[in-house]
Chains A and B, each alone.
Chain A
Amino acid sequence: MIQLLYFASLREALGIEGEALPLPEVLNISALMALLAARGGAWQEQFAGTRPLRAAINQALVANSALVQAGDEVAFFPPVTGG
């Protein structure tokens, strides 16, 4: 299992803050996004790669090539706008 978290406009578009997801195999962030996009609807819209999204694994920013492993906390969010 992995713990997924969604923030800001992404959380609002998907209508959930997060979920636990069984991990079929070790995959990278791009493959995980494709898996989520395949749910269709808002998921397809948000994860199909047309919107700028950032990803973090275990609370550190990562590139889309980073591998996700069982037990990881994986967060997706739009580009940050603090300060």
Chain B
Amino acid sequence: MTVSVQQADFDAGEEIRRLRLENPEAGAVVSFVGQVRDLNQGEEVASLTLEHYPGMTEKSLTAIITQAQQRWAILDVTVIHRIGTLQPMDQIVLVAVSSAHRGEAFNACEFIMDYLKTEAPFWKKETTSSGEHWLAARDSDQSAKQRWHE
């Protein structure tokens, strides 16, 4: 697996290519890219700043991927999460999963995103015309995680 927490942007195409070519058994690579929206709850977003807990972030992401590996027959996983100040339409996060068949990769990719959203120690602060504010956690993210226990 590859886990990276970085300020720099990433090339999703290159990451997918690497997962594909490193695993001749891979029949599928499923990926998710999250980006900064220009509007949140009706307000125009000027920038988004991501804070994290160095050390715990990497441990948490590694533990989430390990859980996915125990649950599905997946070949490899890449997670890249950006920190620092981002602008609308900047990429925030990449999760890419390779597996022999698509079902495992689809499930594992969604599982990893749902857990990342609710367990990995990142916090978003938004700057809008009305000032700066920290984003509140969303109940829908909790329920998205919960369904993996059902």
Contact = CB atoms under 8 A, between A and B. Distances in A.
B123 A8 contact: yes
B51 interface: yes
Contacts of A77: 53, 121, 123
A81 B135 contact: yes
B119 interface: yes
B136 A83 contact: no
B121 A7 contact: yes
Contacts, number: 74
A56 interface: yes
A80 B59 contact: no
B67 to A, nearest CB: 13
Nearest to B82: A82
A56 B81 CA distance: 20
Contacts of A34: none
Contacts of B135: 81
Interface residues of B, number: 28
Interface residues of A, number: 17
B53 A81 contact: no
Contacts of B81: 82-83
Interface string A28-59: 00000000000000000000000010001001
B97 interface: no
Contacts of B59: 59-60
Contacts of B118: 79-80
B6 to A, nearest CB: 13
A83 B125 contact: no
A7 B51 contact: yes
B93 A75 contact: no
A20 interface: no
B51 A80 contact: no
A29 B26 CA distance: 45
7 contacts: A59-B59, A60-B56, A61-B60, A75-B121, A81-B124, A82-B120, A83-B113
- In the A-B complex, list the 7 residue pairs whose CB atoms are closest, starting with the nearest: A82-B122, A79-B137, A8-B123, A59-B56, A9-B134, A83-B117, A81-B135
